[in-house]
Structure formats: structure tokens, C-alpha cells
Amino acid sequence: MSASQYHQVIIIGAGAAGLMCALTAGYRGRDVLVLDNAKQLGRKILISGGGRCNFTNQQTLPSAYLCSNPHFVKSALARYTQWDFIGMVERHGIAFHEKTLGQLFCDDSAKDIVQMLTTECDWAGVKVQLRTEITSVEKSDQGFVLATSAGEYRCDSLVIATGGLSMPKLGATPFGYRIAQQFGLKVLPTSAGLVPFTLQPDDKEKFECLAGISLPVTVTASCGQSFSEALLFTHRGVSGPAVLQISSFWKPGESVSFDLLPGIDFVQWYKTINAESPKLSLKNALSRLLPKRLVERLIELGDLPDKNLNQLGKTEVDSIAAYLGNWQLAPGGTEGYRTAEVTLGGVDTDELSSKTMEAKRCPGLYFVGEVMDVTGWLGGYNFQWAWSSGFAAGEAV
Ligand code: FDA
């Protein structure tokens, strides 16, 4: 066992938030050590955005975050904005593009973002030590004492940046929640967010033949939150950006509503097309608006009539409009942490300073990134929270 080592700041977790916190504190002249139990740093960054890392969103606003205290995110997001991070990406000459809805992705690879953070940490004099298990954390008179697989470490400021529970395969652990509880901080119940839905057995049987079909929809949860994005049918249920987004707002037992014809007035459209081609089947007509296999399946299931346009009465046309505009699905559940992009819930933000991320009842202890009860929408918002909260703590430690 090596002798006890002292650093002014120790950060546990070499992910997005931990590295941003480290480089910010390092540039302030603080002596910073980052510890991580993984073999590689920034593993979630590497796999994010399909390997291209959706590193921020141009439209980042506090309203794009779920948190039991919606005001909590404002200060950190205002002090380190999407434009600050974009500036860093540009200074490193990393090429990027907007994919859709303000979402910025690397042109080449997420590796560029990890390389950028590693370089910045080097320049800021930060030490990173991987493959280190933390076995205990205790408060001392001067700060904190950590027992680890690499010996004992002491520090004045301790930052917990160990992320949430999503993707245990990538090394996600409940470490951060345990430390919060150990120091008497409230941890709000956690669940999988930005995650595909599984279907109830009946619906699975009905719709699994549609796997691979994707279409634009507007999806709405019981709480009224809605998103206009793509719906994807899968072998296990439904996914795609629309479903991932709404999953963060869904509660077990609730249904979600899909407008399968967003922006289209079906009754008006029917009148026009019926006037042009009255003998056209509803199936062929609707296949101009929706994937043909979906229309065929809805007819097979008896959810839509197998008739020609001119055989449809006014009530029938109205009920088709209502059905397609409000297609209800009651998910059986979600695919859980195995495939979730984020974890809802976590360290209660009421326990933390929104300016510094320091625990109010345990001076010197900080929480940054996904470990806390802040979850962004899909689209680069979660990394922006990692950068902003990491920066806020990095300025304070
Ligand atoms: P993060 O999980 O990144 O880092 C935590 C670190 O702590 C890890 O290095 C881990 O090894 C370490 N650690 C954990 N337990 C430990 C322990 N007990 N001891 C020591 N170290 C420990 N977001 C976004 O904005 N755009 C995107 O494109 C994507 N894409 C995406 C794809 C996939 C597949 C997933 C799973 C997630 C995303 N996300 C995303 C979400 C994003 O990855 C996530 O919000 C951030 O990585 C959170 O950053 P943190 O630094 O808080 O945790």
C-alpha cells in the first residue's frame, strides 16, 4: 500500500462532468487528481451520438431539463453556455455540424471530444488515474480521506462525478448515490430515461411485424408534454427520438398518444382526395401519407375500415381522423437501464448550491453531471449539463 497522497481537489469519475470540472479547477491553479475505476476515460462520450457525440444543443434552455426544482439549472447553464463549449470545440479545430433541432455532432468521431478534454486537462496540469476502485470515503477535520485500491488519498474538496445507472455494461455504478446518502443528502428515486418502450403482450403481437418502420409523429404524455420527432417500431416495442423523449415523462400504467399525421388535417385531406379519386381504397390513399405496412396492419387489425374513399360516411371519416390523430399506446414498460441514455432522479438538488454544486450540509463535497436529479431532453442537453455543472464546481473547488 502506497503512503497517503494529498491533492487539493479529488474528482471521482473521469466522464464528461468530471473532466470539465477538473480542467476548470486546474486552470485556476488548483492541484487536481481525477480517479476512475474504468480502464478508459470518457467511455460514454465515445459511444454517444452513434460514435459522433451530440456534444451540445444550440437551443439549450433551462426548460429542456427535468428536475424537481426547475430553477436549479439556470445559474450553471447561464455561466457556462453551449456557446462556451462550442468555442472550445472550435479552438481545437474539431469539425462539427447541426444534424437537426440545434443538435451539434462531430463530423468525424466522438474521440475528438475525448481528445480535446484530455488535452485541456494536460494543459491545466490535471492528473488522471484510471483503474482505481474507491473503497471508502470519510470526512476528516481538514477535508476527506479516500481508501482506494491504489492507496489512501486526502483532499480538501471532493467532487462526485460518477454519473447515473444507465448502461451498467459501461461501468455505471450507484457509487454517487451511496456517497450522497452516507453524508446525509437526500437521493430522489431513480428510473431509466431516454429509453425505448416495451409493449404489453397483446400489442407486441400486433405490432412486432412492423419492426424497422419509422415515421414522423407528435407524441404526447399524460402530463401534456409533447415532442414532434420520429417513431420507430422495433422487435421489442417502440423507439426512435419521439419515444426516447417522451419516456422521460411517462409513468408506469399511463398511455401515450401519437398523432400519426402531424400537421395534416385528415378531414380536409380526405375531402380533396375523395373528390379527385372517389374509388381509391382508403389503404392506397393513406399509404401516400403513412408507411404502407403500417396502414395494412391497422386495416388487418380492424382499426381502420377496408373500404374505398367514397364508401366512407362523415362519422367514419371523423373517427378515422380522431384515431390517427390520437393513436393510443399503453407501454408495458421500458427497456430499463440496459439501453437507457440517462437516469432520472438522483441527488436532490435542494441539497446542493445551484452556483457551486456544493452540498449545503457537507462543505467541501460537490456533485456534478448526471448523478444529480437533472435530466435533459434528447439532443445534446445532457452533455451540456455535464459541461455547465462541471464548470460551476470547477470554479468553486
Ligand atoms: P459519465 O457516465 O459520463 O461518467 C461517469 C464516470 O464515473 C465514468 O467514467 C465511470 O467510469 C466513473 N465511475 C462510475 N462509478 C465509479 C466508481 N464507483 N468509482 C470510480 N469511478 C466511477 N448525451 C448527450 O448530451 N448527447 C449524446 O449524444 C448522448 N448520447 C448517449 C448515448 C448513450 C448510449 C448513452 C448511454 C448516453 C448518452 N448521452 C448523451 C448521455 C450522456 O452520456 C450522459 O448524460 C453524460 O455522459 C453524463 O456525464 P457524467 O460525467 O455525469 O457521467
Average of per-residue pLDDT across 340-347: 98
| Judgement on whether residues 354 and 385 belong to the same structural domain of the protein | yes
339 falls within a domain: no
Q: Band of the pLDDT at 2, cuts 50, 70, 90?
A: low
Q: Name which residue sits closest to atom 14 of ligand 1, judged by CA.
A: 162
Three-state SS annotation for the chain: CCCCEEEEEEEECCCHHHHHHHHHHHHCCCCEEEECCCCCCCHHHHHHHHHCCEEEECCCCHHHEECCCCCHHHHHHHHCCHHHHHHHHHHCCCCEEECCCCEEEECCCCHHHHHHHHHHHHHCCCEEECCCCEEEEEECCCCEEEEECCEEEEEEEEEECCCCCCCHHHCCCCHHHHHHHHCCCCEEEEEEECCCEEECHHHHHHHHHHCCCEEEEEEECCCCCEEEEEEEECCCEEECHHHHHHHCCCCCCCCEEEECCCCCCHHHHHHHHHHHCCCCEHHHHHCCCCCHHHHHHHHHCCCCCCCEHHHCCHHHHHHHHHHHHCEEECEEEECHHHCCCEEEEEECHHHECCCCCEECCCCCEEECHHHECCEECCCCHHHHHHHHHHHHHHHHC
Q: Band of the pLDDT at 292, cuts 50, 70, 90?
A: very high
| Judgement on whether residues 99 and 215 belong to the same structural domain of the protein | no
With a threshold of 0.95, does the pTM exceed it?
Answer: yes
Residue 329 to residue 237: CA distance in whole angstroms: 11
- Res. 1: pLDDT tops 70: no
Average of per-residue pLDDT across 264-279: 97
Cβ atoms < 10 Å from Cβ of 135:
8
| Judgement on whether residues 88 and 126 belong to the same structural domain of the protein | yes
Binding-site residues, ligand 1, Cβ < 6 A: 12-18, 36-38, 43-44, 47-49, 53-54, 134, 161-163, 166-167, 171, 173, 175, 341-342, 369-371, 380-383, 386
| Judgement on whether residues 247 and 265 belong to the same structural domain of the protein | yes
Average of per-residue pLDDT across 104-115: 98
Average of per-residue pLDDT across 257-270: 98
| Judgement on whether residues 237 and 101 belong to the same structural domain of the protein | no
Mean pLDDT, the chain, whole residue set: 97
Question: What pLDDT shows up at residue 210?
Answer: 98
Q: How far is CA 31 from CA 21, 26, 177, 363, 394, in A?
A: 12, 6, 26, 18, 12
| Judgement on whether residues 184 and 274 belong to the same structural domain of the protein | no
| Judgement on whether residues 114 and 91 belong to the same structural domain of the protein | yes
- Res. 389: pLDDT tops 70: yes
- Tens of pLDDT, residue by residue over 163-179, are 999 999 888 999 999 99
Total domain count, the chain:
2
Of 125, 134, 135, 162, the C-alpha closest to 43 is 162
- How close is the Cα of 44 to the center of ligand 1, in Å? 5
Q: Which atom of ligand 1 is nearest to the CA of 49?
A: 28
ipTM of the complex: 0.99
pLDDT > 90: percent of the chain = 98
Average of per-residue pLDDT across 229-247: 98
| Judgement on whether residues 148 and 222 belong to the same structural domain of the protein | no
- Res. 373: pLDDT tops 70: yes
Q: By residue range, what is the domain housing residue 59?
A: 3-191+344-394
- Tens of pLDDT, residue by residue over 25-40, are 999 999 999 999 999 9
- Res. 84: pLDDT tops 60: yes
Question: What pLDDT shows up at residue 171?
Answer: 87
| Judgement on whether residues 267 and 234 belong to the same structural domain of the protein | yes
